[in-house]
Amino acid sequence: KIRPKLIIILKFNNQMNYQKSEPLSSLPLQISISCHIALYLPLLISQIICFLLKFKYLSSIYCNILIAIFIVHYTIEVIRLYLAYAGNKGENIPNLSGAWITGLILQLPVACFLLFNPDIVPLPLELFTQSIHFILLIIEIVTVMSCNNVLESSSGTLFDEQRSVNILELKKRVLLLKDMPDHFLRFSGSISPSSEHITSISNIDPEEAFYRFVPPNTRGRLIISVMEAKLTKSYSLIRMDPYCKIRVGNTTFQTPTHTNGGKNPKWDKTINAYLPNGVDSFFLQIYDEKQFTKDECIAWVHIILKEEIFHGEKFDEWYSLSGAQGEGREEAEVDELALMFPNIEKEVIKSVLEEKMGNKDATVTILLELNEN
CATH number of the domain encompassing residue 266: 2.60.40.150
Section 257-274 average pLDDT: 88
Q: Please give the mean pLDDT across all residues of the chain.
A: 77
Phi, psi of 192, deg, nearest 5: -75, 115
Q: Are residues 57 and 155 in the same domain?
A: yes
Q: How far apart are CA 213 and CA 61, in angstroms?
A: 104
Section 325-339 average pLDDT: 62
Reported as type and span, the H/E element at residue 149 is: helix 124-171
Does the structure show a pLDDT above 90 at 243? yes
Q: How far apart are CA 121 and CA 128, in angstroms?
A: 14
Q: How far apart are CA 239 and CA 234, in angstroms?
A: 8
Does the structure show a pLDDT above 50 at 8? no
Q: How far apart are CA 232 and CA 251, in angstroms?
A: 30
Q: Are residues 229 and 295 in the same domain?
A: yes
Does the structure show a pLDDT above 70 at 339? yes
CA dihedral 88, 93, 94, 97 (to 10 degrees): 80
Instruction: Considering only residues 333 and 308, tell me which one the structure prediction assigns the higher pLDDT.
Output: 308
Query: Which among 255, 202, 193, 188 is positioned nearest to 224, based on CA atoms?
Result: 255
Q: Are residues 351 and 308 in the same domain?
A: no
Q: Are residues 68 and 126 in the same domain?
A: yes
Instruction: Considering only residues 259 and 8, tell me which one the structure prediction assigns the higher pLDDT.
Output: 259
Q: Are residues 292 and 368 in the same domain?
A: no
Reported as type and span, the H/E element at residue 115 is: helix 108-116
Domain interval for residue 105: 27-169
Q: Are residues 135 and 223 in the same domain?
A: no
Section 181-191 average pLDDT: 61
pLDDT at position 354 is: 76
Residue 139 falls within a domain, yes or no?
yes
Total of domains in the chain = 3
Section 61-79 average pLDDT: 89
Of 169, 196, 226, the position where a domain reaches its end is: 169
**Cβ(226)–Cβ(271) below 8 Å:** yes
**Cβ(26)–Cβ(88) below 8 Å:** yes
Residue 120 falls within a domain, yes or no?
yes
Does the structure show a pLDDT above 60 at 183? yes
Q: Are residues 289 and 345 in the same domain?
A: no
Does the structure show a pLDDT above 80 at 299? yes
Q: Are residues 264 and 316 in the same domain?
A: yes
Q: How far apart are CA 156 and CA 140, in angstroms?
A: 24
**pLDDT tens by residue, 145-182:** 888 888 877 776 656 666 665 665 665 554 555 566 66
Q: Are residues 261 and 312 in the same domain?
A: yes
Q: Are residues 165 and 32 in the same domain?
A: yes
Q: Are residues 140 and 260 in the same domain?
A: no
pLDDT at position 17 is: 43
